[in-house]
Structure 1
Amino acid sequence: MSKNKNIDFSKVAAHIIKTPLQNFVEESYLPYAHYVIMNRALISDDGLKPVQRRILYAMDQLGLTDKKDFIKAAQIVGETMGKYHPHGDASIGDALARMGQDFTLRVPLVDVQGSVGFTTGDDPAAPRYWEGRPTKAAMELTKELKEGAIKMGLNYDGKYPEPPMLPVRWPNGIINGSQGIAVGYSSNIVPHNPTEVMDALIAMVKDPDITIDEIMEIMPGPDMPTGGVLIGYEGVKDYYETGKGTFSIRGKYSIEPGARGTHQIIFHEAPYQVSAEQIISAVDKNKKDKNRFKEISQVKDLSDINNGFKLSVSVKAGANPEVVLSDLFKWTPLEQTFSVNMTVLKDGVPSVNSMKDMLENFIEFRSQCIIDKSQYRLNELNKEIDRLDGIIKVLVDIDKAIEIIRKSEDTKIANEKLQKRFKINDEQATFILSMPLRRLTKSDSLSIQNEIKDLKEEQKYLTKLLKDEKVFKKHLINELEETKKVIADERRTEIINKSQEELKKEAARLRKAAA
C-alpha cells in the first residue's frame, strides 16, 4: 500500500488525444466493429466461425485424417495460432475442445483421445493432456480443398495460403448451430438433426418451391445434442418462417416410487447447455431465499463418464411428484427458453434468414463448390490428355526419342528437337523430358490410349454436368445422399406439439388438485 501512496496519479492519462467523434468512429470503432462481425461472432457461407475454419484447415495441413494417429491438442493449437489465427492459445484450445464435445455439437468435428469433459459444465483438460484428430464428418468439410473447390487466399501476414471458406459438404451452421455477439448484431442458431437436414436439402433440390410446412414435415424442429423435450412448438414455426422465434426445452425424466410413500424423479437428459450444478444451485437458492421446494429432501448429481448426465431428486412422503416437477420446471433451469436469431453472413453482409433461406444458402454455396471443382478438374483433364497424346506420338519411334534426349547438350535443345521431330507442343515435350527414361521406355501405347479414353469419358461427363441442369441436380442429390450416410443419426430431442399456454393451464390444474 505504501508504494501506491507514491504514485503521481496526475500523470495517469496525462497525454489525452482529442479527436472529433466522427473521426474516432471512422478510424477506430468501425474497423473494430467490422473485425468482430467478420472474424469472430457470425458464421459465414460455409457455416463456420473463423476459429473453427482455421482449426480444421490446420489439422488438414498437419496431414491429420480420421484414420491417422492422434496428435497432441497443443500441437494443433500451436499450428492454428502460429499460421492462421493470431489470438491467444487459450481461446483456440477452448474452441478445439468444444469441437470435440458430443454434448456441445450435434456432429462433433474433433475425435478426442483423453478428456474434454463428458457432460455440460465439465472443464476440458489442458491441450497438453489430450490428443485429437478430425472426425469422419469433419473430413467432409475439408476433403475437397486440394480439388479446386475453393480459391485459396493468404493468412493474416501473407506468408501462408489459407482458404477464405471451406468446401463443406454438409451445413455445419444448421446442424451444429452457432452463438455469437457482434457489434450491433447477435446470433443464436440452435442445432438440428443431421439426417433430417440432409433430407430437407434433397427435397429442396428436387422442388425449389417447397413450403415451410413441407420442410417442417421433414425436419420438425431443433434436435439438441443433449436431447430433452421441446415445448412451445409455435415458436419453432416462427423461426422457420422469419429467422426469429422462441421455444423451451425441458429435461427428460422418469418417476420411480420409493419406500414409505417417497418418490425419486430421475432426470436422464437436461436442456442444452444446462449443467447439473446449475440445477442443484437453483434448487438450493429457492429453498433458502424463497422457501420453495419443501417437498424435496435431496438433489444428487449422479452423472458419470459411462452414463452421462443423471440427476436424482428425492421427493418426501405424501408429496405429489407431478407438482414438484411442475415447480422444478418453473423455478430451475430444468426448463430452458431458447430465443433463436438466425443472423449469418451472406456474401459478407449480416442478415436474418428463415430456415428456407438457410437451406437455399447452403445449396447455392455447395453448387458453386461443385462448379469450381468441376472446372478445375476439366483443366487438369485437358492437361493430362494433352500430355498422354504427346507420349503416344513419341512411342511411335521411342529409340529416336531416347537418342535425341541423350545426345542433346541441354534440356532446352532436347525440348526443341522433340517438338520438331514428333510434331508435339512445348508442354508435351517438357512433360516427356521430366519422365525417367526407364518409365518412358516401359510405356505401353495401348494402355495409354485406354487411359485417354477413360479421361475423355470423365471430361464428357463434367462438361455435361456444367451445362445440363438435370445432370447437375442429380449429381448434387447423389452427393448429399453420400454425405448423409456419414453424418446420419437418430433424433434425440422429443417434440411435444403443445403451446406454452396449454402447458401453463396443465400446471395450474395440478397445483389446484394438490391444494
Structure 2
Amino acid sequence: MTDLLDDPNMGSEFVAEPLRRAIGERYLTYALSTIMHRALPDARDGLKPVHRRILYAMRELKLASNGGFRKSAKISGDVMGNYHPHGDAAIYDAMARLAQDFAVRYPLVDGQGNFGNIDGDNPAASRYTEARMTSVAEALLEGLNENAVDFRDNYDGTLTEPVVLPASFPNLLANGSSGIAVGMATNIPPHNIVETVDACLHLIKVPDARDDTLLNYIPGPDFPTGGVIVEPRENIAQAYRTGRGSFRLRCKYEVEDLGRGQWQIVVTEIPYQVQKSKLIEKIAEAIQTKKIPILGDVRDESAEDVRLILEPRSKNVDPEVLMNMLYRNSDLEVRFSLNMNVLIDGVTPKVCSLKEVLRAFLDFRQEVLIRRSKHRMEKIDHRLEVLEGLIVAFLNLDRVIDIIRYDDVPKDALMREDWGQDFVRATSEADYVPPRADGEDGLTDVQAEAILNMRLRSLRRLEEIELTKERDALMEERAGLEDLLESDDLQWAAISDQLKEVKKTFGKDYERGARLTHFSEATEIEEVPLEAMIDKEPITVVCSEMGWVRAMTGHIDLTRELKFKDGDGPRFMFHAETTDRLLVFGTNGRFYTMSAANLPGGRGMGEPLRLMVDLPNEAEIVDLFIHQPERKLLVASSAGDGFVVAEDDIIAQTRTGKQVLNVKDDVRAKVCQPVNGDHVACVGENRKVLVFPLDELPEMGRGKGVRLQKYKDGGLSDATTFALEQGLSWLDPAGRTRTETNLAEWQGKRASAGRMAPRGFPRNNRFT
C-alpha cells in the first residue's frame, strides 16, 4: 500500500479505504441502480425505463399510429443516443418484444417485418424492420405535453425525458411485467383492460372495497396466447390479496373426430411464454422415451394460428387420460408465478396486493388530472388576457390605428394608453396626441404584442363577435376547472369518464379487446390402469448384476443364455406384460415404481436402471419384481428389524421413489419377500434359524419395524414366510428342494435367538 501511495502516477486524488467498505458501497450503488432503473416497473405507468424511453423517442420522431413507419435502427439509435446509454441490441430486443402479440397482451409497438414468432425465432436485424406506435401506446402518452408529469435531464444533460408517462389506463396490469433485480424480482401477468378499468371504477365508487370483491371484476390474468386457467378461485383470491402466488395454466384443445372410431387432439392455444418448437421437442422426447406410451405422434400444422396435432397410439385411449399425462410430462400445463413487486412513486419497491396496485394508479391519475387542469387554466388565463386586449382594440379601433400609424414606439404607447376614455381620431400626424405616461388602464405586454400581430383582415365586426364568444366560453371553462380543482368528487367523476372512454376504445370492438384466457375446473388426474391405455404385449424383463435393465419381446426361455457386458451377468429375469408395473427395492429402504412399457427394448444391453429411477450410487438393488395389487410384503433390514407392508401402499408416483423401511448408518435393507403363509422363518449370519407366527409382526406403511431375531454378533441373512402345515422349504447345494415339516426345534417367540440350521441348509444362508 505504501508503494501505491508513493506512485506519482496515482495522482493526488488517491484515497485508501478498506476493501470491505469499498466493495459494499459500490455493490449497494449497483443494486439500487438495478432495482430502480432497470428491473422493476413503476406502479403508475407499468413501464421500465427502457420501455418508457422507447415510447418517448417514438413520440419525438412523430411515429403516430396513423402515420408512417420508420426503420427500427433509427428508433433504437435515437433511444440509445438521447436517453438510454446501453447497447442498441438490448434496446431493439425490448422494442421488438413490445411488438409481439404473443408476448404482450396489448402491443405498444406496431411492427412491420419479422419481429419473431411463438416458435422462439429471433426478430430480424433492426435494419430490416420498421415500427411505429400503436393507439395503446398513444393512450399512455396522452397529456404528456400538458405538464401532466415531471421531466428530468437525460444522461448527458442535453435533453429532458419524462420521469413517468401519464398512462390513461393501468398498463402495469394490462401488459404485466417481469424482471430480476438484486435480492428481489417481479413477475406480473397481463390482464384484460376492460376488467381492470371496471375494477378501477368500482374502487372509485367504493374506496374501501376488499380485494375479494375486486375479483368480481378481475377474475384472473388474461394471457395474450389464451389458454385455460384451472386454479381454484380461492387460490387466485389469496394471490391477489398478498401479491404472491401462482396460476395453473393449460393449453386449449379440442377432440377432432376423423370417422370410423378414429380421432385426434388439436391444440389451438398453448400456455403463455411457452415456445412452440421446444414444446414439440419435449413431447416428441416423451414419446421416444415412452413416458407417454399412449401417445403415437405429435405434428405441427400451425400457420398464423397454433395447431398442434396429437395422435393417440390406439383409438381405445381416453382423450382426457392422454391430456392428463401430457400435462404432467410437458409444458401443455405450466405454473405462472405472481410476484407484484413494483416501485411505488418510482422510488420504493414493494410487493403490492391487487387493490394497492389499482389505488396507486388511481392516485396517480388524480395527480395527472390536477396538473393537466392547472396547465389548462394557465393556457386559458393567457388566452383570456389576449382576448381582453383584442376586444379593447376593437372597441377603440381608430385610436389603435392612430398609435400604430403615428407613434414611434407603438407597443409602449399601447401599454401606456388609458383606454377608459373617449378618443377622437387624428386626421394627421400633427393632430396625433401621444398617450400619457401615467395611464392606469393600459394594456399588458402580451396584449400589446397580440394587437400588433393581428392581421388587417381580422379588423371586421364579425371577428369582434367571435372574440366575445370565445372569451365567454373560456371563462365558463375556467370556472368549471376551478370547481374541479376544489372538489374531489368532481375529480373522481372526471377520472371515471376518462376510464369509461378507455373502456370504450379498447373494449370488445377492439382487435384484442375480448378476453382470451378462460377458466375451468381442473379435472382430477386419476391413476388409470395401463391396460386401458396401451396394448398388452408379452415381454421378458432382464436385469443384470450391474443394474442394466431391458425388455425383450415375447416370453423367452428363462434358461436361455443372453449376452451381457464384460464382467456382468444375469440377476433378475422373469416374464411380464407391457401393462405391468415393476417395483424396485433398494438397500436404502426405498421402493421405486417403473412401467414395463418404458423399459428399453431392442437387441442392446439395455440401460442402467439408475437412469430411470433416482437410486443413489451408494445403494444397491435388493429385489425387482412385478407389482400385484392387494399383495403384502415382508421387508427387513440387515440389523434384523422388519414388518409387513401392503404392496399397494408402496407405489411411488415420482422417480425419487417412496421411503418404506427406515435404515441408517451401516444398516441396509436386506429382505423383500411376498407374504405367503402364516409363519416367518429367519436365518442369521450365525446360521441360527428362528420360526415364529406371522401375526407377531405388525403391518406398517413406513418405519424401522420390530426385531425379528436376536443376534450376538452379525445380523440377518434372509427371511421368508410359509405355511406351517406345508413345512419350510429351501434349495440344497445340489439344487434340489428340501422341505422340513418338523419345525418344533426352531419355533419360538419373535426376537429370540433361534437354533442352528437343519442339516443340509445352504451355506449361503438363504432360503431361495
Distance 2:176 2:506 in 1: 15
SS at match of 2:115: coil
Query: Does residue 416 of structure 2 align to residue 420 of structure 1?
Result: yes
SS at match of 1:77: helix
Give the match for residue 505 of structure 2: 486
CA contact (8 A) 1:371 1:466 kept: yes
SS at match of 1:34: helix
Give the structure with the higher percent strand. Answer: 2
Distance 2:108 2:455 in 1: 46
Give the match for residue 54 of structure 1: 53
Distance 1:247 1:510, change over 3 A: farther
Give the match for residue 269 of structure 1: 269
Give the match for residue 222 of structure 2: 223
Residues 41-80 of structure 1: pairs in structure 2 closer than 5 A: 41-44=39-42, 45-80=44-79
What's the RMSD between the two structures over aligned residues? 2.1
Aligned amino acid, residue 332 of structure 2: L
User: What TM-score comes out, normalization by structure 2 length?
Assistant: 0.61
Cα drift, residue 457 of structure 1 = 1.0
Residues 445-502 of structure 1, C-alpha deviation per residue, up to 9 Å, x if partnerless?
221111000001110111111112222221111110001122221111111245xxxx
Aligned amino acid, residue 490 of structure 1: A
CA contact (8 A) 1:83 1:155 kept: yes
Give the match for residue 251 of structure 1: 251
CA contact (8 A) 2:103 2:224 kept: yes
Query: Does residue 340 of structure 2 align to residue 316 of structure 1?
Result: no
Give the match for residue 721 of structure 2: none
Cα drift, residue 80 of structure 1 = 1.3
Distance 1:197 1:398 in 2: 57
SS at match of 1:217: coil
User: What TM-score comes out, normalization by structure 1 length?
Assistant: 0.90
Cα drift, residue 243 of structure 1 = 0.2
Cα drift, residue 21 of structure 1 = 1.1
Give the match for residue 8 of structure 1: none
Distance 1:325 1:420, change over 3 A: same
Give the match for residue 735 of structure 2: none
Q: Which moved more, 1:464-473 or 1:358-367?
A: 464-473
Aligned amino acid, residue 418 of structure 1: L
Residues 151-300 of structure 1: pairs in structure 2 closer than 5 A: 151-233=150-232, 234-258=234-258, 262-288=262-288, 290-300=289-299
CA contact (8 A) 1:106 1:192 kept: yes
SS at match of 2:527: helix
Cα drift, residue 320 of structure 1 = 3.2
CA contact (8 A) 1:192 1:222 kept: yes
Query: Does residue 69 of structure 2 align to residue 81 of structure 1?
Result: no
Give the structure with the higher percent helix. Answer: 1
Give the match for residue 445 of structure 1: 464
Distance 2:88 2:250 in 1: 35
SS at match of 1:127: coil
Distance 1:260 1:292 in 2: 28
Give the match for residue 133 of structure 1: 132
CA contact (8 A) 1:381 1:459 kept: yes
Distance 2:497 2:173 in 1: 20
**Which residues of structure 1 form unaligned runs of 5+?**
1-16
Give the match for residue 457 of structure 1: 476
Distance 1:49 1:357 in 2: 19
The structure whose Rg is larger is 2
Aligned amino acid, residue 139 of structure 1: E
Distance 1:439 1:511 in 2: 94
SS at match of 1:218: coil
SS at match of 2:514: coil
**Which residues of structure 2 form unaligned runs of 5+?**
1-15, 420-440, 508-512, 534-578, 580-768
Task: Give aligned-pair identity as a percent.
Answer: 37
SS at match of 1:128: coil
Distance 2:131 2:415 in 1: 52
Distance 1:18 1:353 in 2: 39
Distance 2:245 2:471 in 1: 56
Give the match for residue 631 of structure 2: none
Q: Number of residues paired by the alignment?
A: 487
Higher relative contact order (CA 8 A, sep 6+): 1
Cα drift, residue 95 of structure 1 = 1.2
Give the match for residue 11 of structure 1: none
Give the match for residue 495 of structure 1: 519
Aligned amino acid, residue 346 of structure 1: I
CA contact (8 A) 1:245 1:339 kept: yes
Cα drift, residue 32 of structure 1 = 1.1
Aligned amino acid, residue 479 of structure 1: Q
Aligned amino acid, residue 517 of structure 2: T
Distance 1:511 1:153, change over 3 A: farther
